């Protein structure tokens, strides 16, 4: 049996955090055991769910940047739990795990999942990454685009890298007509109102300013928009909504743990990101059969074929987004066609069981175990 310790920068409601939660809770118990979960930052939604499910879950309670003392704490946890694999998610967690392995000589295999957040790192942190990346035994990217960026821009060894796409449990993604009705009543929507939705951390990467500007251009149309998530741009986005006079049309609802219910309430899902890996929320919306409008960036075209199972638009272009929204508002048949094709695409290429088999196979491979 292979023992795996998961280390993550955070355990809030986010894409990387959800992937960690999914892997930890669905690993085959006869082949893999979870030694524990370590969050650098205070426990978030997924961390609390893991603790409630009986997993040994710890937080290093880091508020901002990790220190050498934090690395020592992580090294001590690794020494006590004695995992054979440490699987680290996101930049800070990966660097701390690399340091613990290098400076303490701990005998574990390091699997890194950096996700897309390497894009915004400063020069000196990228230099530190260059020095430490040799500690990885395997690096898992969530999309071909992310892998290519790490290889071409940061000099990673392609031979040490594997692409495992995010997966969605289709059985757990039916549209709930009751929840749809409840959420729309909660928003006081008219029967003919079209509801758009987007989800993600409120920061520049997610491109919510583009969505808000597009909604400003459509303020006279019978459409409403909800944005689910929390983050540092909240105040700026609220100010933008007020300046455009669309407080009734666009609502920032904060971080929610009932995402399937909100997705059920939508007519169209929008992903206006400026850069992305392969977002879980996009795949979940597609799995529900929602028509999606998404920025044509990075790994997104690996999930969406334009005008076949969604609409792709250039990133950061409010006018293009407004035009795509208008097209779907005015064409219910297109919404139905794209939504059905999206659901079929996810069932065929992004199944949860396939994702889990790939992760378990990767763990076996890095340990030299034949599946």
Which tens digits make up the pLDDT trace of 111-153? 999 876 666 667 777 788 888 888 999 999 999 999 998 998 8
Per-residue model confidence (pLDDT) at position 43:
93
Element (H, E) at 288: none
Residue ranges in the chain whose pLDDT is less than 70:
116-121, 171-175, 371
Per-residue model confidence (pLDDT) at position 258:
79
Q: Please give the Cα distance from 353 to 167 (Å, whole number).
A: 7
Which residues 6+ apart lie within 8 Å of 371 measured at CB?
360, 361, 364, 365
Q: Is the pTM of this model over 0.95?
A: no
In the chain, residues under CATH classification 3.40.50.2000 are: 2-167+352-366, 170-349
Per-residue model confidence (pLDDT) at position 130:
85
Best CA proximity match to 26, nearest among 355, 369, 367, 361: 355
Q: DSSP strand E in the chain: where?
A: 2-8, 32-39, 57-59, 85-89, 109-113, 138-141, 161-163, 194-199, 223-228, 250-254, 268-271, 292-295, 311-313
Q: Please give the Cα distance from 137 to 361 (Å, whole number).
A: 14
Per-residue model confidence (pLDDT) at position 173:
60
Per-residue model confidence (pLDDT) at position 293:
98
User: Is domain 2-167+352-366 given the CATH code 1.10.1060.10 in the classification?
Assistant: no
User: Is domain 170-349 given the CATH code 3.40.50.2000 in the classification?
Assistant: yes
């Amino acid at each position: 049996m292979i023992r795996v310790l998961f280390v993550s920068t955070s355990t809030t409601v986010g894409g990387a955090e959800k992937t960690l939660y999914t892997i930890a809770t669905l690993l085959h118990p006869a082949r893999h055991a979870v030694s524990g979960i370590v969050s650098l930052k205070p426990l978030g939604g997924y961390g609390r769910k893991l603790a409630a499910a009986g997993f040994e879950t710890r937080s290093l309670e880091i508020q901002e940047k990790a220190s050498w003392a934090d690395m020592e704490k992580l090294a001590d946890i690794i020494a006590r739990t004695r995992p054979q694999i440490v699987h680290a998610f996101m930049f800070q967690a990966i660097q701390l795990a690399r340091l613990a392995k290098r400076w303490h000589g701990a005998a574990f295999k390091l699997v890194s999942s950096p996700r897309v957040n390497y894009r915004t790192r400063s020069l000196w942190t990228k230099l530190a990454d260059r020095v430490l990346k040799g500690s990885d035994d395997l690096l898992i990217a969530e999309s071909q685009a992310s892998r290519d960026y790490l290889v071409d821009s940061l000099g990673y060894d392609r031979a040490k890298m594997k692409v495992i796409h995010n997966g969605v449990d289709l059985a757990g993604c039916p549209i709930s007509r009751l929840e749809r009705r409840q959420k729309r009543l909660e928003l006081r929507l008219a029967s003919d109102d079209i509801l758009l939705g987007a989800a993600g951390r409120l920061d520049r990467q997610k491109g919510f300013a583009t969505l808000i500007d597009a909604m400003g251009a459509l303020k006279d149309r019978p459409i409403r928009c909800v944005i689910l998530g929390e983050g540092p741009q909240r105040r700026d986005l609220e100010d933008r909504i007020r300046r455009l006079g669309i407080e009734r049309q666009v609502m920032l609802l904060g971080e929610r743990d009932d995402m399937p219910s909100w997705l059920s309430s939508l007519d169209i899902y929008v992903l206006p990101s400026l850069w992305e890996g392969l977002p879980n929320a996009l795949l979940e919306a597609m799995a529900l059969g929602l028509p999606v409008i998404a920025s044509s960036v990075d790994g997104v075209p690996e999930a969406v074929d334009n005008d076949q199972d969604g609409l792709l638009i250039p990133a950061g272009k409010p006018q293009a987004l407004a035009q795509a929204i208008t097209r779907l508002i005015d064409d219910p048949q297109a919404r139905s066609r794209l939504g059905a094709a999206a659901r079929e695409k996810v069932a065929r290429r992004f199944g949860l069981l396939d994702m889990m088999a790939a992760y378990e196979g990767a763990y076996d491979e890095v340990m030299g175990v034949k599946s």
